[in-house]
């Protein structure tokens, strides 16, 4: 059964209790990762890195780094969505397929590389901000893709980023931004909680 994107957004909620006897096939996990990389990023830098935690040993490591939250152990898989720093330094290589396919003129690609270098080189805060933006968009793209497949998800912001880096041997250019649990909801999860009225958060100019 398919649902409209409006229905998915209006109905989805963050799941904290999962059916532990219903695995998610590795092929689906890989498909979700591929769909997440369709998210937008500045200059098409694709400045993200995704890790899918499935094995018992990896779950234990992440569970410890995520303050022992039980859904990390219950969910069939948890994605660690990371942003990457210094992605502008490899932008020329990243854009090469767009040039080769004829989608982007080489001169435009060169101008993007120059602009990105000016914006990010030696500017750690700008790189961090961009990494968080890109990883967040990839995470939400993954959430909607999973929900569209009939899976359930939960966003987890409570974790020790340094502990995650250490547990999974991530170098200092890989910044863990958010965890996304994926699986099938068990009973006794909350439905989507009420949102603020639109006038409190939206201005039409």
Which is nearest to 176 in space by CA: 82, 67, 84, 47?
Answer: 82
Q: In what helix (H) or strand (E) does residue 167 lie, and over which residues does it extend?
A: helix 161-167
Q: For residue range 61-120, list pLDDT tens digits in order.
A: 999 999 999 999 999 999 999 999 999 999 999 999 999 999 999 999 999 999 999 999
- Tell the residue number behind the tokens 């958060």, with chain if given: 201
C-beta of residue 87 within 8 angstroms of C-beta of residue 45 = yes
The whole-number pLDDT of residue 63 equals: 98
Q: For residue range 113-149, list pLDDT tens digits in order.
A: 999 999 999 999 999 999 999 999 999 999 999 999 9
CA 34 to chain centre: 11
Alpha helices in 1-81 (DSSP H): 5-11, 26-36, 56-65, 71-74
């Amino acid at each position: 059964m398919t649902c409209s994107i409006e229905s998915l957004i209006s109905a989805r909620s963050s799941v904290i209790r999962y059916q532990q006897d219903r695995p998610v096939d590795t092929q689906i996990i890989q498909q979700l990762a591929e769909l997440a990389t369709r998210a937008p990023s500045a200059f098409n830098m694709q400045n993200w890195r995704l890790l899918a935690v499935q094995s018992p040993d990896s779950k234990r490591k992440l569970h410890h780094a995520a303050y022992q939250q039980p859904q990390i152990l219950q969910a069939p898989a948890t994605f660690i969505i990371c942003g990457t720093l210094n992605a502008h330094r490899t932008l020329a290589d990243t854009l090469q397929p767009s040039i080769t396919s004829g989608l982007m003129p080489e001169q435009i690609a060169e101008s993007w590389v120059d602009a990105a270098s000016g914006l990010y080189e030696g500017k750690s805060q700008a790189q961090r901000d961009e990494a968080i933006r890109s990883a967040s968009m990839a995470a939400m793209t993954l959430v909607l893709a999973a929900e569209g497949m009939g899976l359930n998800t939960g966003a987890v912001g409570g974790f020790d980023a340094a502990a995650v880096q250490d547990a999974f041997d991530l170098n200092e250019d890989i910044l863990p931004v958010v965890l996304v649990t994926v699986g099938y909801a068990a009973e006794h999860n909350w439905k989507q909680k009420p949102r603020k009225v639109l006038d409190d958060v939206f201005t039409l100019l």
